[in-house]
A = this chain, B = another copy of it.
């Protein structure tokens, strides 16, 4: 196995990319970079072959973020909020496979872990496994390629075509400033998990998931209530076995629950959302309300701020989550007016904004995104700001000590 000289001597402080013929990526098969075929899977680092690797002289190494959630739980909205915080719009790779799952912005590349399915739809059917099952996913390749990108080396990543259910020819992923791996299993494999500089789990409660599916599949797609219930039930055992346990590893969990402001509410329109933030994570200082480390409940609606029914209720405090010390910020209810939003923002601390009202600006800018008026949008935006802050701190710390890796 060939190890590139450039890699062994410079890659920790370099951004490298593989130059290749300027031809369309569709159907493009090239073996010079980290590959997804069986034979190379356990080879450790990239095989450079005879391709030309160019490395930039900067101190930057890709910062890797993991985002776990079930399908249809708002990952793509979250990604659009995250890239918006960094300033650019995220778009699919230009001139590539129109069914690519990748989104690229100036700073950030988001790859979908469905692309590491080792079994296509037919294969899963034949073997009787769901996409949630680790056996339907290629964690060796996932690890190798994420590691390569983190080390500044471009990879040829497969594409899982959600339309056809087949594995399409790969696309080149160049090392970005920030790589987000989003999907069902970003924290499942310990090796992949160790590559993450920050990890997030979107935890949608069964009640809310059910209400959302009814809204989408029944109202918009004409499915029956029974078939929706059956599809949720069918997914549940594998979800509980393989997806849900990942939340114990997350640095931040966004929990979405039914409101407690409306008795017996089952519409799932008003939400209670909890942002669970792990303590002691390098470059991540949890958001707090009024007094860090104490337990607070706050109804901002009162003499200075009037809110419409059912109002807004915040709470904040220390807790433990899977044995880890965490801080939890909770919002129940929704914003109806701009002044409610700016009022709440102005009372939160450690939100890593660059100017007064930045959260409000972000939520207003994307007011058409789902959840912009409630805790999902608020906390997704906050997590976006925290990731920007984390990224900037990592870059700054590398500039200060260029040869020291920040995460083992």
Contacts and interface: CB of A to CB of B under 8 A. Distances in A.
A293 B343 CA distance: 13
Interface string A284-305: 0000001111111111111111
A292 B298 contact: no
A301 B294 contact: yes
A293 B298 contact: no
In the A-B complex, the 3 residue pairs with the smallest Cβ-Cβ separation, listed nearest first, are: A293-B303, A295-B299, A290-B290
B298 A295 contact: yes
B298 A290 contact: yes
B297 A293 contact: no
A292 B298 CA distance: 11
A375 interface: no
A292 to B, nearest CB: 7
A73 B318 CA distance: 38
A321 to B, nearest CB: 15
Contacts of A293: 302-305
Size category of the A interface is 10 to 19
Contacts of A300: 291, 294
A169 interface: no
B302 A294 contact: yes
Contacts of A305: 293-294
A298 B294 contact: yes
A317 interface: yes
A300 B292 CA distance: 9
Number of copies: 2
A38 interface: no
A347 interface: yes
Interface in A290-333: 290-305, 317-318
Contact of A290 (B291, B304, B317): B291
Contacts of A298: 290-291, 294-296
B318 A302 contact: yes
B296 A303 contact: no
B296 A297 contact: yes
A260 to B, nearest CB: 15
A345 B110 CA distance: 48
A223 B296 CA distance: 44
A302 B291 CA distance: 10
A19 to B, nearest CB: 52
A366 to B, nearest CB: 27
A292 B303 contact: yes
Contacts of A299: 294-296, 317
9 contacts: A290-B291, A290-B298, A291-B300, A293-B305, A294-B298, A295-B302, A296-B297, A299-B317, A303-B318
Contact of A296 (B292, B296, B317): B296
A41 to B, nearest CB: 45
Nearest to A311: B295
A281 to B, nearest CB: 15
Interface in A140-193: none
Interface in A222-261: none
A243 B248 CA distance: 59
Contact of A347 (B291, B302, B304): B291
A303 B294 contact: yes
Contacts of A304: 291-294
Nearest to A317: B302
A293 B317 CA distance: 21
Nearest to A327: B303
